[in-house]
Amino acid sequence: MAGRQPRFNQTTLVDTTPLPADIPPVAEIGSSSAPLLSASFFIGARCKPYNDDFMQCKTESAGKGEVDCLKEGRRVTRCATSVIEDVNKHCLAEFRKHWQCLDNNNQQLWQCRPEEWKLNKCVFENLKLEKVIPDAPKGETPVHLRTRQIYAHNGP
């Protein structure tokens, strides 16, 4: 429901009443899918405690999490926003290159490895956030670091 704003000719069929004043406002993340996908592992690296907190809250307050977990949700959004802002501040060029590549390649991560390596390097140097894929088999190069991507159209 939140994702796509319905458009009609006569009226905007969205209830635009704002949240009541006793619920603190928070700026939404406001970025589209490709930048989010590009930054997802950095968001995961920095915001894991908040994310886990939020998901635990949702699990424990079964059925009422929408209302009860607003506070945790605000924390999650603030943390993710901070990551996006930091990446924008330090690695804007690499970030843009990577998510535009993702946008042009059907959001397939393996098509954009060179851009991703540059972005990962920049983010690691400036923000100390590293992309780690959990549960990957040990003793192998992680997929995002392999120099030869089997499925890429024009491999690096």
Partner 1 sequence: MPQDLPPVGGYEPVQYKRNLPARGFRPSVMLLGVAGIMTFGFYKIGKGIREQNELAREKMWSRIHLIPLLTAEEDRDLVRRHLADQKREEELLGSRTSPYHSDRFVRPTYAVTPSQKST
- Closest CA relative to residue 134, chosen from 50, 55, 40: 40
**Minimum distance of partner 1 from residue 92's CB (angstroms):** 20
Show contacts with partner 1 in window 41-70 (CB under 8 A).
41, 43-44, 47, 50-51, 54-55, 58, 62-67, 69-70
Site string for partner 1, 6-45 (x = CB under 8 A): ----xxxxxxxxxxx--x--x-xx------xx--xx-xx-
| Nearest-angstrom CA–CA distance, 38 and 31 | 11
How far is residue 17 CA from its own chain's centroid? 27
Identity of residue 112: C
The DSSP-derived string for 104-135 is HTTT-GGGGHHHHHHHHHHHHHHH------TT
The torsion angle over the Cα atoms of residues 16, 22, 26 and 32, rounded to 10 degrees, is -30
**Minimum distance of partner 1 from residue 26's CB (angstroms):** 8
When binding is defined by CB under 8 A, the residue of 4, 90, 109, 139 that contacts partner 1 is: 109
143 binds partner 1 (CB under 8 A): yes
| Nearest-angstrom CA–CA distance, 83 and 95 | 12
Which residues of this chain interact with partner 1, rule CB under 8 A?
A: 1-3, 10-20, 23, 26, 28-29, 36-37, 40-41, 43-44, 47, 50-51, 54-55, 58, 62-67, 69-70, 72-74, 76-77, 80, 109-110, 133-137, 142-144, 146, 150-151
